Each structure stands twice: as C-alpha cells, then as structure tokens.
Amino acid sequence: MSTPDKQLLHLVFGGRVKDPQSVDFEDLGNLDIVGIYPNNAEALDAWRAKSHANVDDANVKYVLVHLHRMLDDPEHEDE
C-alpha cells in the first residue's frame, strides 16, 4: 500500500493594489479568494490563469501563499 503525498497547502488570492510595485491591497473586503490548493502545481496553474486574465490592469495583482510553510513553522504554534 502506498503512502499518499503530504499535503502542501497553498492559497491563491488577489485584488486591486494601491501601487503595482506592492501587495498593499486597496480593499481587503473585496479580495478575490481564488482557492486553497493541495500542491504548488495546482496553485500555480490557478495563479497563472487569474494573473493572465488581468494582465491589462496593472493595479490588479494575484499572489500565491505557501500556507504549509506557516503551518509547519513552530514559531506560529503559540499565536
């Protein structure tokens, strides 16, 4: 019996930013939460699709967050 691959959760979200050089979003209440994905490949596909769909608007930015890094970080256990 094979062992399933470890989940490496990733979050993809985006929205309008105040400055295209930053990730300071204009309205946190209007963020587009694309989804949570079980691996980097699926998250990257989702990020690319959303980013490419908004390529003509410099003030819309999508990001990919490696949730598994925060979840596995012992520093976050006390928070």
Query: 14-72: per-residue pLDDT in tens?
Result: 999 999 999 999 999 999 999 999 999 999 999 999 999 999 999 999 999 999 888 88
Let me know if residue 41 belongs to a domain.
yes
Q: How many Å apart are CA 55 and CA 61, to the nearest integer?
A: 9
Overall number of domains in the chain: 1
Let me know if residue 71 belongs to a domain.
yes
In the prediction, which pLDDT does 61 show?
A: 97
E-strand stretches of the chain: 10-16, 32-37, 60-65
Which CATH number characterizes residue 54's domain?
Answer: 3.30.70.2400
Let me know if residue 61 belongs to a domain.
yes
Let me know if residue 4 belongs to a domain.
no
